[in-house]
Amino acid sequence: MAIEFIDKTIARRLEEAHSWRSVEYTRAQANLQPQNGCEIEAVADGFATFAGKRSPLNKASGIGFAGPITAAALDRIERFYRRNHVLPRIELCPLADDSLRVLLGERGYCLEQFFNVYFCEVGQRPYPIQLPPDTTLHQAQPDDADEWINVTTRGFEGTATPSQLGLEIQAPNFYSANTTCYLVRKAEKIVAGGVMATHNKVTELGGTSTLPAYRRQGLQTALLHVRLNTAREIGCEFALVLTTPGTLSQRNIERVGFRLAYTKAVMVGKWNK
């Protein structure tokens, strides 16, 4: 039976899976870039992660579902980011306990960014995989790591040569303990790829990227379908995708059956004493 209402129980599972992806990502980055001083701290019912000063994963997530958030918990988050020399950022889910919103307001946190959280129930029937001629789709193997990271970074950046920062940000997606990566080949070269990160029967689909010359050929849809098929095979109940509102990624995932669960905010604050 399809879920008609997204309640706190469903939101907690989605946010827990997303938060755990951040934890495993940060652990992978600690191995790849030990000079970054990566760090993870469990706070309340979530985690604060630091994966390097320029990392987009420097946020506390999965917080506010087990009960009220105390000032002491927020103090710990702020101290965590202060000692890592970045401003505190906290993901605020609209279904989290309202104490989190109140505390962030009292301390002057500001809205930095919105994310749409899309989800679908993993179905019982396999999704079709349709590809252009002379194109194949496979699970990535260890020997594919460098090319997969290079190509998907170039796809995100839309450039012929990836930036070093982009490579460093994308690489942990391949090496995280809870991820499975997929790639599309054309003429023996990788032209697109994507990743799935699984925790407690929920999988997050992300890191999906296609080189500009190979877009509008259905590769994104094929990558979505193959990961949903894998999720079904390993017993997942839900899949989720985070998107920036109004993007092409949002359109693609809606076409394959994802629907909006909620929109959450990234709140940024200052270092309080």
Instruction: Write down the pLDDT at residue 179.
Output: 97
Domains along the sequence of the chain with CATH: 8-116+263-268 (no CATH), 135-236 (3.40.630.30)
**Please, is 87 exposed, middle or buried when counting C-beta atoms within 10 Å of its C-beta (0-12, 13-18, 19+)?**
middle
pTM of the model as a whole: 0.94
Q: Which residues in the chain show pLDDT less than 50? A: 1
101 contacts 69 by C-beta, under 8 angstroms: no
For residue 239, the 8-state DSSP code is E
What's residue 36's pLDDT? 95
H-helix or E-strand spanning residue 178: none
pLDDT at 1 (0 to 100)? 47
| pLDDT at residue number 270 | 81
User: Which secondary structure element, helix H or strand E, spans residue 86, and what is its range?
Assistant: none
164-174 residues labelled b (16+ CB within 10 A) or e (exposed) = eebbbbbbbbb
Backbone phi, psi, residue 150, to 5°: -60, -50
